[in-house]
Amino acid sequence: RRPPRSTPLYSSAASDVYKRQREGRALAALEHPNIVSVLDFDRDPENRLFLVMELVEGKDLDGLTSTGVLPFPVIIFIVSEVLRGLGHAHDLPVGNQSRGVVHRDISPHNVLLSWTGMVKVSDFGIAKARAVSEATASEFIKGKPAYMSPEQANGQRLDGRSDLFAVGVMLWEMIVGRRLFVAEDTRATLAAVLFGQIPRPRSLRGDIPKDVERVCMKMLERDLPNRYATAEEAVHELLH
């Protein structure tokens, strides 16, 4: 059970406040069945910007997978719904151009599963409109290292394909039944993301469907041109 979220969006610098206002408006525009809704975007009595987000009664994906390996149809359903939500965010039109919002912190903790069967992506708190800003050395570490894309770990500019890598990590872990990038500290985890071997899932569990493994490995391509270009493309291949 998650209570309504109030995510601060404030900064002391006027330019940062303006940037946060633009980001807040972009996040408030994320209306999709697979994204936790923003119910309010306002200022508190101390003039700090905040978001109020919907209550989702259920569990997060981390809590569900901790009970054991899920059936393949359930895994495919969850991943497809996550990708649909992200695809909407990535294609979000802002103003007169389509700029899109990159989540930057996709992980099992940020996938909420309601008791009624809904799958919702939450915590767009460090998301950025692509045309508004890009990752910097001070920003990129805000995500969870074990689910970062190589380009995020390198502090490079991000697009929606970065989120797809994170979904690929989650899919690998769900079908294999263990963590993918495991290390003793953040630095070692980032090194594993950048250079570590990514075993093919079927080499560790032989009953994984070949087409699911193929989709998973394509989302985990370190070279951006070899990864899926869009979430919609990944959903299509996963379901067909």
- The catalytic site residues sit at 105
Yes or no: say if 98 and 41 are a contact pair by the CB < 8 Å rule: no
CA distance 161 to 163: 5
Specify which residues 97 forms β-bridges with: 94
Length of the chain: 240
CA distance 84 to 89: 9
CA distance 37 to 24: 13
3-class secondary-structure state, position 26: helix
